[in-house]
Amino acid sequence: MTKTETKLLKTAVTALFAFAAFSISGSFVPLTSSLAQAEEGDDGRPVINVPRVGGRELFQSCVLCHKYDGRGGPSEGGYGADLRVTTLTHAQLVHVITYGRQARGMPPFKGLLDEDKIETLATFIKEDLRLEE
């Protein structure tokens, strides 16, 4: 692959991810060096690095029950727990997100979110939603 072809491929990949980001979020998210990039691998072929979705974006699946700030309360599934003051450990959160708590109205997200996304979501709940003491 020539350098010109590699540059064209990098431009096309960047445009593709910009379109995908717009389609998912509904607003334009500028792609910077910290987002999707195509780099040349050891064999000269492009390697595409795709960023993981952050916890805030993943938490959008939780807001119906746990509200936008994690406070919980009355909801469609019953009474959403206040995630800002949860006493669950990170590992326990991963388990609950993965397998749910059917008796309490918490659905399982296994199959809907992969393991990495569940880990990211649990970290977001423990670190970013937690109320300051």
Q: What is the pLDDT of residues 69-97, one digit of tens each?
A: 999 999 876 889 999 999 999 999 999 99
pLDDT of residue 40: 67
Instruction: State the pTM of this model.
Output: 0.60
133 within domain boundaries: no
Same domain, 68 and 96: yes
Are both 41 and 63 inside the same structural domain?
A: no
Indicate if 45 and 64 belong to the same structural domain: no
Can you give the residue range of the structural domain that contains 63?
55-127
Domain membership of residue 82 (yes or no) is yes
Q: Is the model more confident about 94 or about 24?
A: 94
The answer on 123 and 63 residing in a single domain is: yes
DSSP-assigned states of every residue in 34-82: TS-EEEE-TTSSEEEE-PPPPHHHHGGGTHHHH-TTS--EEETTEEE--
- Tell me, yes or no, whether 114 and 87 share the same domain: yes
Band (pLDDT 50/70/90 cuts) for residue 25 is very low
Task: Give 27's pLDDT tier (boundaries 50, 70, 90).
Answer: very low
> Does residue 132 fall inside a structural domain?
no
